[in-house]
Amino acid sequence: MNRTLATRALALALAASAGPALAQQTPERFFAAKRTINLYIGYAPGGSYDLYGRMVARHLGKYVPGNPTVVPQNMPGAGSLQAANFIYSVAPKDGTALGALGETLVMEQALRNPGAKYDATKLTWIGRIASSNNIHLVWHTAKAQSVEDAKTIEMTVAGTGPANVAETVPKLLNALIGTKFKVVSGYPSSGPGMLAMERGEVDGAGTSWAVVKSQHQAWLKEKKVKIILQDVPERDAELPDVPALLEFAKTDFDRQLLGLYASGGAIGRAVSAPPGLPDDIAKALRDAFMQMAKDPDLLAEAGRANLAVEPADQAALEKVVAASANVDDSIRDRVRQIFGN
């Protein structure tokens, strides 16, 4: 037997002997061997993404076959686009890397943001722990105490990234209804942004209603802050006196444009994985996620923190993503005019 034939024979023999071993590499064996899943959170500590992400990390592992430890890691940058790009292109595609990414990542793709180097329709969506209601609030000493006030009085607000509604929505309202929001960029997440508001560095900040309920009840009771806007199509039942974003639309076109920025709530605090995960690994993670969402310990923890738990499976998320991934060119052109990209 010549060297070439011998090499081929050896390769075939090795493949044959490896077959049974590969067949036995079940999700349980795989995750037990890996021991760790990294959950990359697209924002700095202190905001709702971090709160929910760490809560998921504490409870998900007990339901994943093999019971790996889920380790939360913050990866802030560009309104979570940095983490989204990492999950899509760099992270291992074997189930050991998950992402808690910004709810606007689909919108940024639809608007062809050059920083969005991913295709959200190809991500492996795992599940959603809660929908979201992003709000804008001002400190009680600010001169402007409403969106209407901001039409005549400049209001400084903390910006937490160009793809985050804390920056985009104020700029949109400036262009559409003539408000005078001045975005002060550079805050890594809503936590530092709210701290800047409390210190008087800015008048207002953007965050989620979940964060205010869980971490800043004293502000509400002592009337230290006033919520002036919620980024949803219609007013939340818990905030009946706070205007919803779509209420400021003057035309059908404005309604479509503002509706795009109010659409992220359905994605909310979701978890996804890189594209191309093996089917059995993806199913194991998805099943584990939905089991986790019913866990009594998680629900008790969420209740103590005043965090809503509103789970949705990957099918529901994929439907929302598919519907949001494309927008009309006229909307895209208007956004480009407003933001200059």
DSSP 281: H
Domains 32-131+267-339 and 134-263 share a fold: yes
Tell me the average confidence (pLDDT) per consecutive run of 10 residues in the chain, 341 residues long.
46 42 74 97 90 97 98 93 97 98 92 93 97 95 98 97 89 96 93 95 95 92 97 91 95 91 90 97 98 98 92 95 89 89 61
- Closest to 229 measured CA to CA, from 179, 188, 175, 161: 179
Please report the pLDDT score of residue 159 as a whole number. 94
Quick check: helix, strand or coil at residue 214?
helix
Please report the pLDDT score of residue 164 as a whole number. 85
Please report the pLDDT score of residue 188 as a whole number. 87
Contact 235, 244 (CB under 8 A): yes
pTM, two decimals, is 0.78
Q: Where are the alpha helices (DSSP H) in 216-251?
A: 217-221
CATH of domain 134-263: 3.40.190.10
Please report the pLDDT score of residue 327 as a whole number. 86
DSSP 244: B
Please report the pLDDT score of residue 24 as a whole number. 57
Q: Which CATH class is domain 32-131+267-339?
A: alpha beta
121 phi and psi angles, rounded to 5 deg: -70, -15
Pairing of strands 36-41, 69-74: parallel
Q: Where in the chain are the domains? A: 32-131+267-339, 134-263
